[in-house]
Structure 1
Amino acid sequence: MHSLKTLTLTLVSCLFFIVVNAQQKTTEEEEDDTLSLTKGTIDNQFEYVIQKSYNYQDYKNVKKDWLYQLKAHTLDSLKAIQNDLKTTQNIVDSLAQEITTLKSNLSETKTTLAETNEEKDNMALFGLQMSKSNYNVLMWSIIGVLLVLLLFFIYKFKNSNSVTREAKKSLLETEEEFEEHRRTALEREQKVRRQLQDEINKQKTIK
């Protein structure tokens, strides 16, 4: 019975060891697949060198060839980063110039808009600029004055027409009176002539 338990424990221990060993090998194979000195990130390449270097006490012995490759890759990465930074700086400078241009255009647009609004709100009269409200007041004042003058001239015309009619009527009456007076005077003159002629005839008869 005791030997059976020992055998069972031994078998379980062997199986556990086999499983753990298989997992470690799988993990190492996966790490070997992901870590490389010729590809991947700089961090992965450093990790590859650290893992593949053998230990000596508290030190790591690294192959010179690996260090040179790692140095070259690091310099290439730094050069690529510098190129990216230079490209980014050029883009930033270009954007800054565009922003400056846009600000200048915006300022000119605002100035033009302000001038347009001022011209829209103002009116030119005899070469003088004045606001629309003042222009409207002036125009309506002129219209009002002209209307008053028109009404005044209409009144004066009607009054003059009435005076003219009265004058014509008076002149007609005067002409009628003058004609009546002339007719009366003519009749009186004819009557006096007839009387004079009668007297002359009488005197001739007496002789």
Structure 2
Amino acid sequence: MKKLLFSIIALLFLNLNTQAQLVPDSAKVDPSLRGQYQLMIAKSKTINGYKLINPARLGAFWKSVSDSINYNRKQLISIKVKLAEQEKAVATLKAQISGSENALASSNAKLDEISFLGISFTKSKYNVIVWSLILVLAAALAIVILRSAKFIHEAKYRSSLYEEIAQEYQNYKTKANDKEKKLARELQDERNKLDELRKK
């Protein structure tokens, strides 16, 4: 009970004392909120474990806190506006990059594309087709050359056989002609002999 009475008396005394000191402190060392708070705590009086704070200091501190909050809110709104603008700019840049990438992919596809007889091929497919055709044609040419060589060899062989047969036929013809002439002479001789025998 004594404590309560003593606290009430102290509060009244301090209230009278604080009303006399409504003028804010001009000797603030640190103007930040932390500095104002520490000054307010340092200048307050403690009675029975309770801090008695000057209302002028508390009002000034509250005004500083409100001003700081309002300033931070304005800064936050400004930052949000800037952030929204930057997000728009980023979205625009992303769209431009996407368009550029699509254009680049399209130009790369056109560079990698070859049109032959109205049919579009990629360079790799075109190279595969061309080299396949070259290999097929080279194989066909090799087959044709081998067959041609075989046919040429066969033709030479048959030609040599024909020449041999022709030579043999020519020899036979010459021999037959000589034999015929010989037989004709012998026949003539025999006729002549026969004629002579008849004349006698």
Unaligned runs of 5+ in 2: 1-28, 41-56, 114-120
Aligned-partner residue type, residue 57 of structure 1:
L
Contact 1:49–1:66 (Cα < 8 Å) also in 2: no
Instruction: Report what 2:188 is aligned to.
Output: 186
**1:14-64: CA deviations, max 9, x gaps?**
xxxxxxxxxxx9xx9xxxxxxxxxxxxxxxxxxx9969x9983273425x9
1:91 aligns with 2:93: yes
Separation of aligned partners in 1, 2:128 and 2:32: 75
Residue equivalent to 1:170: 172
Q: Which runs of 5+ in 1 are unaligned?
A: 1-24, 29-47, 125-131, 200-207
Using the alignment, how far apart are the partners of 2:166 and 2:74 within structure 1? 122
**Amino-acid identity (%):** 8
Q: Deviations over 1:55-105 (max 9, x none)?
A: 83273425x999888766654444333222211211112212333444455
In the TM superposition, residue 168 of structure 1 has moved relative to its aligned partner by 0.5
Calculate the aligned-residue CA RMSD, in Å. Answer: 3.9
Q: Does 1:112 align with 2:122?
A: yes
In the alignment, the residues of structure 1 paired with residue 109 and residue 188 of structure 2 have an alpha-carbon distance, to the nearest angstrom, of 102
CA positional deviation for 1:146: 1.9
Distance 2:193 2:86 in 1: 143
Q: What TM-score comes out, normalization by structure 2 length? A: 0.54
- Counterpart of 2:83 (choices 81, 85, 89) is 81
Following the alignment from structure 1 to structure 2, what is the Cα–Cα distance between the partners of residues 185 and 116? Answer: 87
Distance 2:109 2:184 in 1: 97
Query: Partners of 2:96 and 2:79 in 1: how far apart?
Result: 25
Equivalent residue, structure 2, for 1:45: none
Matched-pair contact (CA < 8 Å) for 1:50–1:60: no
Q: Secondary structure of 2:152's partner?
A: helix
Shift of 1:139: 3.2
Partners of 2:75 and 2:69 in 1: CA distance: 10
Cα distance in 1, alignment partners of residues 169 and 192 from structure 2: 33
Offset at residue 160 of structure 1 (A): 1.0
Partner SS state of residue 57, structure 1: helix
Separation of aligned partners in 2, 1:151 and 1:106: 55
